[in-house]
């Protein structure tokens, strides 16, 4: 059994702009696993003359007192025609590529992260050329969007590392934590393991707090989290936008206890069913923490007869982090 927990804290708050409070600030970068895989596939495409490809990932932000959440928004690949021939580096792009990326930062009001791939397994480390190039163009993004963090990411075949330039700070900060949302579910599908997800929100409304959450059991071959309307880019963006609004550390032990215990109950129902209504299908339960109620979600009936189409590709089989490379 695999259980992946997730805490979301929520309430409307104005835009981002606070600098980190010293070295204790935690930088947490989140992206959908489907987006990470799409980026790797894009960067692995051969180019007519460049040895490697690069791109830009736009990001939105949520901050609390001690942490900054960076949420990947959209990947912008560099057009084939915007690479210039330079044998000294793997890839060099021209001013048109840079103008496109700067325009995205300006019109979408996002931070921009340069992305490239180191084709190996394990954590990728920047070369001296990487640092030299980043120092050349990251200041342009800071000029266009001075109140937002910008940076650079390196992907490997199974890893990621990154650095972030904060507003009004010259030295970049290494990103501490990366979460690939949906990776765990993908691994469970591959190895035919039932997957349990628990998550909750805390909203501040009229001076009080509203707690709600959900428990999802996803069975291999049956509905997945995406079928139930989870793992969506807009939900992640909402999460980043409201991050930390209920305080950096809201008291969530007891609601998480209810959710985790319900997940254990759903597992026991699978392994030793004690009643005739027990089935081994995917299910989602909504939790109302203010009224202390857990109920079968109305979404279950809505998608019950719709087969899951989210895990039908060849890359969904085999090692969850491996995908065939173009020759
Ligand atoms: Zn590199
Ligand atoms: Zn699905």
Residue 77 in this model has a pLDDT that exceeds 90:
yes
Ligand nearest to the CA of 119: 1
The alpha carbon of 226 and the centre of ligand 2 are apart by a number of angstroms equal to 5
Residue 124 CA: which ligand is closest?
1
The two most distant CA atoms of the chain are separated, in Å, by 69
Q: What is the pLDDT of residue 316?
A: 67
Would you state the pLDDT for residue 209? 86
pLDDT for 187-198, tens place per residue?
Answer: 888 888 899 999
How many CB atoms within 10 Å of residue 44?
Answer: 16
* Nearest ligand (C-alpha, residue 195): 2
pLDDT (tens digit, 9 = 90+) per residue, 266-296?
A: 999 998 888 888 888 999 999 999 999 999 9
How many angstroms does the Cα of residue 201 sit away from the middle of ligand 2? 23
Instruction: Provide long-range contacts, Cβ within 8 A and 24+ apart, for 183-187.
Output: 183/33, 183/320, 184/2, 184/4, 185/4, 185/33, 185/218, 185/224, 185/225, 185/231, 186/33, 186/311, 186/316, 186/320, 187/2, 187/320
CA 302–ligand 1 middle distance (angstroms):
46
Cα of 220 vs centre of ligand 2, distance in Å, is 10
Q: Which listed ligand is nearest to 227 at the C-alpha?
A: 2
Is residue 294 a contact partner of residue 262, using CB atoms and an 8 Å limit?
yes
- Residue 315's pLDDT band, with cuts at 50, 70 and 90, is low
Instruction: Encode pLDDT of 204-248 as tens digits.
Output: 888 788 899 999 999 988 999 999 988 887 877 777 767 666 665
* Predicted model pTM: 0.77
Nearest ligand, measured from the Cα of 307: 2
How many angstroms does the Cα of residue 33 sit away from the middle of ligand 1? 21
Domains of the chain: 23-181 (3.40.140), 187-315 (no CATH)
CA of 10 to the centre of ligand 2 (A): 26
Ligand 2 is an ion; residues with CB less than 5 A from it: 224, 226-227, 308, 310
Q: In angstroms, what is the span from residue 117 Cα to ligand 1's centroid?
A: 7
Ligand 1 centre to CA of 14 (Å) is 36
Specify whether the backbone of 207 is left (phi greater than 0), alpha (psi in -120 to 50) or beta. left
Residue-level pLDDT at 249: 60
Q: What pLDDT, in 10s, does the model give residues 111-170?
A: 999 999 999 888 899 999 999 999 998 999 999 999 999 999 999 988 899 999 988 888
Question: From ligand 2's centre to the CA of 91, what distance in Å?
Answer: 37
Handedness of CA 78, 82, 83, 86 (dihedral sign): negative
Question: Is the model's pLDDT at 4 over the cut of 80?
Answer: no
Closest to 189 measured CA to CA, from 228, 236, 229, 225: 225
Q: How far is the CA of 260 from the centre of ligand 2 (A)?
A: 22
């Amino acid at each position: 059994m695999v259980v992946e927990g997730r805490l979301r804290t929520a309430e409307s708050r104005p835009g981002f702009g606070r600098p980190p409070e010293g070295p204790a600030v935690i930088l947490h970068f989140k992206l959908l696993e489907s987006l990470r895989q799409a980026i790797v596939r894009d960067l692995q495409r051969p180019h007519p003359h460049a040895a490697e490809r690069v791109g830009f990932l736009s990001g939105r932000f949520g901050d609390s007192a001690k942490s900054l959440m960076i949420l990947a928004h959209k990947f912008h690949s560099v057009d084939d025609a915007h690479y210039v021939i330079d044998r000294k580096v793997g890839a060099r792009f021209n001013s048109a590529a840079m103008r496109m990326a700067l325009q995205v930062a300006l019109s979408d009001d996002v931070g921009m992260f340069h992305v490239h791939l180191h084709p190996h397994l394990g954590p990728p480390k920047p070369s001296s050329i990487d640092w030299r190039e980043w120092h050349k163009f990251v200041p342009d993004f800071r000029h266009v969007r001075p109140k937002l963090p910008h940076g650079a990411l390196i992907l490997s075949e199974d890893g990621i590392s990154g650095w972030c330039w904060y507003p009004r700070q010259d030295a970049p900060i290494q990103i501490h934590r990366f979460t690939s949302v949906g990776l765990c579910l993908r691994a469970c599908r591959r190895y035919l393991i039932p997957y349990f997800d628990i998550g909750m929100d805390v909203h501040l409304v009229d001076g009080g707090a509203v707690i709600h959450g959900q428990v999802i059991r996803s069975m291999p071959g049956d509905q997945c989290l995406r079928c139930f309307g989870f793992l969506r880019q807009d939900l992640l963006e909402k999460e980043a936008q409201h991050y930390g609004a209920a305080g950096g550390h809201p008291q969530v032990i007891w609601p998480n206890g209810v959710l985790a215990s319900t997940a254990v109950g759903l597992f026991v129902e699978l392994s030793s069913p004690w009643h005739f209504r027990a089935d081994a299908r995917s299910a989602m339960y909504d939790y109302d923490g203010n009224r202390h109620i857990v109920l079968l979600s109305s979404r279950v009936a809505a998608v019950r007869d719709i087969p899951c189409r989210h895990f039908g590709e060849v890359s969904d089989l085999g090692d969850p982090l491996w995908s065939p490379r173009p020759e």
